[in-house]
Amino acid sequence: MRAIELVNLSVYYGPVRGVEDVSLYVDDGEIVALLGANGAGKSTLLKAISGIVGTKRGSIKYFGENFAKTSAHQRVIRGLVHVPEGRRIFTALTVRENLELGIYSAKLKHGQRTERFDEVLEMFPILKEHATRLAGMLSGGEQQVLAIARGMMSKPRVLMIDEPSLGLDPQKVDIVYDLLEAVAATGTTVLLVEQNVNLALEIATRAYVLQQGSVALSGDSSTLASDPRLSAAYLGAESD
Amino acid sequence: MTLLMSEILNGLFLGAFFGLVAVGYSLVYGILRLINFAHGDFFMVAAFVAYTILGSSIVGHGHMVWFTVAWVGLLVMVATGLLAVLANRLVYHPMRRAALLSLMIAALGLSQVLENGVLNIPGWGSAYLTFPVTSPPNGFTVLQTNFSWFQLIIVLIAGFLSLGVYLLVGRTLIGKAMRAVSEDRIAAVLMGINVDLVIAVVFFIGGALAGAAAVMTGVYYGQINYLMGWTVGLEAFTAAVLGGIGNIGGAVLGGVVLGIAQSVGTGWFGAEWAIVVTFVALVLLLWLRPTGILGERVARRM
Amino acid sequence: MAAKLPKGGVILAFIAVAALVPQFTNNQYYLSVGYQTEMLICLALGLNIVVGYAGLLDLGFAAFFAIGAYTTAVLSVNHHWSIIATIVPGVLIAVVCAVIIGLPTLRLRSDYLAVVTLGFGEIIQTIANNMSMTGGPTGIYGIPTLTISHIVIQTPVAFYYVLLVLLLLFVLISLRVRHSRIGRAWLCIREDEDAAQAMGIKIHRYKLYAYMGGAVMGSLTGSLYAPALSAISPPSFGFSESLLILMALAIGGMGSVSGAILGGMIVVILPEAFRQFAQTRLLVFGLVLIIVMMTRPRGLLPENAFRGFRWPFRRRVAPLDGAVIPMVATASSPSASSEEDDR
Amino acid sequence: MFRNSKSMRFATSGLLVTGLVALSISFQAGGVASAASKSNFVIGVPLPMTGAEASAGTEIFNAMKLAASKINSQGGVAGHKIVLNEQDSACDATTAVNAANLLVSAHVNAIAGEYCSSAALPEQPIFSRAGIPVVFAAANSPALLTGHFKNTFLTLASGSGDAAEAAAFFKQDLKETKIAIIDDQSAYGTAIADAMSADLRSNGLTLAGGAIQAVPATQTDFSSVIAAVKSSGATGIFWTGYYAQAALLVKQLAAAGVKATFVGSEAAIDATFITGAGSAGIGTYATEFVSPSGKAINLFNAHYRKAFKSAPGPYSSYGYDAIQILARAGNAAKSIQPSKIIAALRKTNFVGVTGRIKFSPVGARLGMPEEVLVVKNGQYVKNSVQPKL
């Protein structure tokens, strides 16, 4: 079953090209990584899939359903959750309130909400002691964990996560990636955008490499890892 | 000394009105960063709607009248809320990508449209209209100052409504969604929050509060006019800034502080200088505390 | 510079046409509407320095207009000064007021500054209304005519030309200052205050300059407008007047001289054009205001000298990519694409 | 991509401006053309039709329409039909100047109207330069008579008579000695308040609190002023402002338990006051010019009610008389020429709905005795005791 399938997708910011003619798919239960240099269009692609930027051409299918006319918040309700770059947690709200907003759209009774809240805290124990603090007071790594935890509150079918390692020290990065593996282990499909190739290929089953808005390479993680064109794609884009 | 105390008590009463309208101002500002100059005119339109409905539905005397006032009040709150939602849908929503100044000018245009719309409606027009129901004068005396029971009821209703909104924003899920939208609209969308709906709810609440204030104004003061919204709007806006705009508790507090400042200032310098006292106090306060009394949350964001 | 030529052309054409108007009509009414338009354009150009160039939202600009008009009226009626001589004290008082109100408040963010300037406008109007020196609510009447050496300016035509000269002066100043060192500093502050400060621009000082510049222009206009009106009273200098000036600028286009000219024409001429509809004309005016702002939110003749122009008081946006903001809504998901603009 | 195209922008803006100018010219030119037909007696009517005083303007204009149609049905003025050319002055100096210039450009034969003195003052020199007779219907600031304009006549005597009457009433009949003056900060109210302050002194009465209390005309809550009045120990209150605020003030005074006797100026008299103040208004007083022919005013009120389905405003009758004054002057001069009408206006002497109308050499209304009214059974009646001046 294809969780996400993009066919010839193009996104433009006014006259500026974001991505052009991208086709890719993510199967149910997979971890797929989107790789590429800065400005290659990875984040744009995620934003197009989650619906916060409009597309110019092409189609987005989510479990076979066409998403062209579905508004961004509706996509979340269908189980497609996007943890954006820079975490974007609500700093003026408490950790608990942030998590509660993660199941905003779910039609749950109060008891069920608390239950889910406890489940997620079990999964992300770092947050436990901070539940009543303002999210803005957390450290960077804790904020990233909160962002993922917030995304997991609604038990998404697909979790898209953008640059989870950005700005974190290696130790925190390990924690975050362990969590991601734990998330995937619950059966959640993960679409991961990452600049750090080695990190991403370690947990992903497959990967796509974007270069200047188009797919340059794709394949299994293990084959890609040894492909010399991979580093060329990075270096090529960087030397531009 | 008793004069000062009675001025403070009067100021508290005035502040209840300011605060109620200011909460609406503050809510909309908090979520859209828009100084909604038309907000005072929602209040004005509400007073006229209440005037018309009450005029045609008052039957009987005594308690029956107050029962009618109560349900008309609720009806007008809903109607004004819907008016605000409609204004948002027709004017502000299509402009959500425009610069704030453009939005502000559009709000001024809307204010003109509402005022002059009422001016041109037969039966409303430019005259000072006498409200069909007026509050009975009997009451009680505190510190040699007479208050009517109705004034007490107004303060209680205003306090009750403000507290309701405060709890709604602070405790409920939709309230949390409002705060989320106010802080980061994109992230809110990614939580599955229907931002347009949240904004509509905010306009509805703001409008409904203005509607409640309008009915109480009509019944208490007994007189309405098509320009009544402008002054109230200006005072409410000042109160909202004074308390720290975007902050519900701040709006109520700002209203009370403004009411007291006006009342006491009038006592010292004469009513003709009331507005000068108000604004000098505002400048001093902003100088010492540039974000208003309770404005920290906004300050950090800016 | 080439890109600016068409605009210069528009301004020149306007001035030329404006100068010729009295040759075609001596209708007193048209001429009086004419000089009121010029007056409002002058005020809009003054406000343009404050709001359009430096990005400071001012909701009480009519205060400086009032200061000029009242200084001239008081000195000429009560103390028999000649009108020309009253201009200097008017300007001085305006500048002093600008500094007094500006020093403590110009460090505030725009919304707070807006309410403080609004308050300043109300204060000036209240003072005019309450002092016996300013004639209280009746105001001051019998303001003598303007005499420049031996020429007596009394007829609408004469005032029309006097205000046209002032307008021309303001246009030249606005265009010159825009590309001067100080003008560039203002634009930097408007675009990004923090960055401007990081670049070593003394932002408070330059903000104060802008505020003072606007005050001088507002006061000058007031001094010359008082004799044209012959009687002034507080209601003409209230919040609604301040808003009218701001509207002119917003409709025409912030930061743009040709925009101020066009906007001034619209806000004066439009309500006059709908005079026949007495009670409905302001309704129409309000509708026009909304429609213009909805269809052309940057005004009819926006400033376009800069690519990547950033509007003052836009929401403080941090787009996800830090990249370009979508200008054109594209095919799919209209509700979705619109969200990009906000944080 | 239209948005970024410079030519499009110029084109649309250019079109808009051209359209506006064309609109304005066609509208105003239409007005000019119709007014210029010389067979009519065209009376220019500058009145506030928008803004805060719009209701007063409408009420005055309605009465003028009544007068004009009545005179026209009786054969017009020296054979010419009266045509009213109404222009909104909005009680704002700038708008008023435009209205005045528009009327002058339309070559009207005379002016009747204007409610606010602040609008009348800048209009005056414009009408004077054009040599058009002006009968101000309700604006009555003394300042209007100091400019030595030979063409100005006031239908309404300046408000100082109200103050003199009220002061005498407080002293002789009410025997109150400590009087508070509350002023609404309008041009009208302030003038009367100042006059009252002087009249209190000359009558040996005290101004309670030592100063005039002023409230902005937009104020609806008077609690702080009432607190001041209460603490000053005033036993009488003189209100110089208008009826709408008067109703609020009286109600709030009653609610605050202030027992001082309330006397309003003539501007406080209106049906809205009686309904608005309710029980608090009963027994309050107001001073007014005597209308000797009670019958005429009653007839006028009845006509007005029939024609407009509402009660006339406090100044409607003055608007009615302003038109009558001009019509009689035209008939006396047998001409509708402005200069001849001005000459005839000086000799005005007849009884209108507001009483006998005569003018002083500077154009002030003469001989308007005052009387004190009291609110009884839902209407104004002449008080049983009247002070001797």
Report the C-alpha gap between A77 and A117 in whole angstroms. 18
- Return the structure tokens found at C157: 């035509």
CB contact under 8 A, C286 and B109: yes
> In the CATH hierarchy, which fold is given to the domain comprising C9-342?
ABC transporter involved in vitamin B12 uptake, BtuC (1.10.3470)
| C323 shares contact with chain A (CB less than 8 Å) | yes
Lowest model confidence (mean pLDDT) among C318-322, D170-174, D200-204, D273-277: C318-322
The pLDDT, as a whole number, for residue A238 is 44
**Fold of the D10-159+293-358 domain:** Rossmann fold (3.40.50)
Q: Map B41-102 to HEC letters.
A: HHHHHHHHHHHHHHHHHCCCCCHHHHHHHHHHHHHHHHHHHHHHHHHHHHHHHHHCCCCHHH
How far apart, in whole angstroms, are the C-alpha atoms of residue A33 and residue A27? 12
User: pLDDT, tens digit, for every residue of B94-131?
Assistant: 988 787 778 888 898 899 899 989 988 888 877 788 88
Q: Which of D24, D104, D190 sits opposite C269 (nearest CB)?
A: D24
Query: Which of A54, A70, A72 lies nearest to residue C331, judging by beta carbons?
Result: A54
**Residue of A44, A52, A54 lying closest to C332 (CB–CB):** A54
Q: Do C269 and D101 touch (CB under 8 A)?
A: no
Cβ separation B302–C316 shorter than 8 A: yes
pLDDT per position as a tens digit, D324-368? 999 999 999 988 899 999 999 999 888 888 888 889 888 888 877
What type of residue is C7?
K
8 Å CB contact of A54 and C321 = no
The tokens of A147 are what? 């962002």
* Mean pLDDT for the stretch of residues D172-196: 86
Tokens encoding D219: 């104020």
Distance CA A101, CA A90 (A): 10
Q: Is C107 on the interface with B (CB under 8 A)?
A: yes
In the chain, the amino acid numbered C314 is R
B194 to chain A: nearest residue by CA?
Answer: A73
Question: pLDDT, tens digit, for every residue of D8-36?
Answer: 454 455 545 555 555 555 444 444 444 44
Instruction: Report the top-level CATH class of B2-288.
Output: mainly alpha
Quick one: residue D211, left, alpha or beta (phi over 0 = left, psi -120 to 50 = alpha)? Answer: beta
**How far is the C-alpha of C19 from the C-alpha of C171, rounded, in Å?**
15
> For residue A61, is it left (φ>0), alpha (ψ between -120 and 50) or beta?
beta
| CA distance, residue D241 to nearest chain C CA (Å) | 13
How many residues make up chain A in this entry?
A: 240
CA A201 – CA B176 distance, rounded (Å): 38
Give, for D261, the enclosing helix (H) or strand (E): strand D261-264
Residue C213 is predicted with a pLDDT of 95
Q: Which long-range contacts (CB under 8 A, 24 or more apart) does A71-74 make?
A: A71/B194, A71/C333, A71/C335, A71/C336, A72/B189, A72/B190, A72/C333, A72/C335, A72/C336, A72/C339, A73/A105, A73/B189, A73/B191, A73/B192, A73/B193, A73/B194, A73/B195, A74/B192
Task: Assign domain D160-291+370-382 one CATH number from 3.40.50.720, 3.40.1160.10, 3.40.50.2300, 3.30.70.1710.
Answer: 3.40.50.2300
The answer, yes or no, to whether residue C72 has pLDDT greater than 90, is yes
The nearest alpha carbon in chain D to C300 belongs to: D13
Range with the lowest mean pLDDT among A40-54, B173-187, B189-203, C190-204? Answer: C190-204
Percent of chain A with pLDDT over 70: 98
Highest mean pLDDT pick, B272-281, D21-30, D279-288: D279-288
Q: Which residues of A touch B191 (CB under 8 A)?
A: 73, 76, 101-102, 104-105, 150
The alpha-carbon gap from D171 to the nearest alpha carbon of chain C, in Å, equals 29
- Please give the pLDDT value at position B198: 93
Contact with chain C for residue A74, Cβ under 8 A: no
Does position C4 have pLDDT exceeding 70, yes or no? no
User: Has residue A165 got a pLDDT over 90?
Assistant: no
Could you give the 3-state DSSP secondary structure of residue D131? coil
Q: Which of A49-53, B64-68, C145-149, D273-277 has the highest mean pLDDT?
A: A49-53
Average pLDDT over residues A74-83: 91
Q: What are phi and psi of C95, to 5 degrees?
A: -65, -40
Query: What are the extents of the domains in chain B?
Result: 2-288
The answer to whether the CB atoms of A51 and C320 lie below 8 A apart is no
Q: How confident is residue D292, by pLDDT bands cut at 50, 70 and 90?
A: low
Q: What is the CA radius of gyration of chain B?
A: 19
pLDDT number for residue C214: 95
Residue with tokens 């400071």: C56
pLDDT in tens, C276-329: 666 677 788 788 889 888 888 888 888 764 433 444 444 433 333 333 333 222
Q: Do A52 and C339 touch (CB under 8 A)?
A: yes
Q: What percent of chain D has pLDDT over 70?
A: 88
Residue C68's alpha-carbon distances to A217, B273, D68, in angstroms, are: 71, 22, 43
Amino acid at A164: P
Region C11-22: mean pLDDT is: 81
C322/A contact by beta carbon, under 8 A = no
Domain ranges of chain C: 9-342
Domain limits of chain D?
10-159+293-358, 160-291+370-382
Q: Using alpha carbons, list the distances in angstroms from residue A240 to A20, A227, B89, B274, D64.
A: 18, 21, 46, 65, 82
Distance, in Å, from the CA atom of A93 to the CA atom of A73, rounded to the nearest integer, reads: 20
Q: Is the predicted pLDDT of residue B302 greater than 80, yes or no?
A: no
B199 pLDDT more than 70:
yes
Same CATH fold assignment for domains D10-159+293-358 and D160-291+370-382: yes
Q: Do A105 and B191 touch (CB under 8 A)?
A: yes
Judged against a pLDDT cut of 50, whether residue C339 lies above it is answered with no
How does the average pLDDT of chain D come out, rounded? Answer: 83
Q: Does C6 touch chain D (CB under 8 A)?
A: yes
Confirm if D222 and D251 have CB atoms less than 8 A apart.
no
Which residues on B lie below 8 Å from A150 (Cβ)?
Answer: 191
Chain A residues within 8 A of C331 when measuring between CB atoms: 54-57, 68
Is residue D49 within 8 angstroms of chain C, CB to CB? yes
Alpha carbon C198 to its chain's center? 30
Contact B234 C239 (CB under 8 A): yes
Helices (H), C48-82: 62-78
Q: Do C229 and D13 touch (CB under 8 A)?
A: no
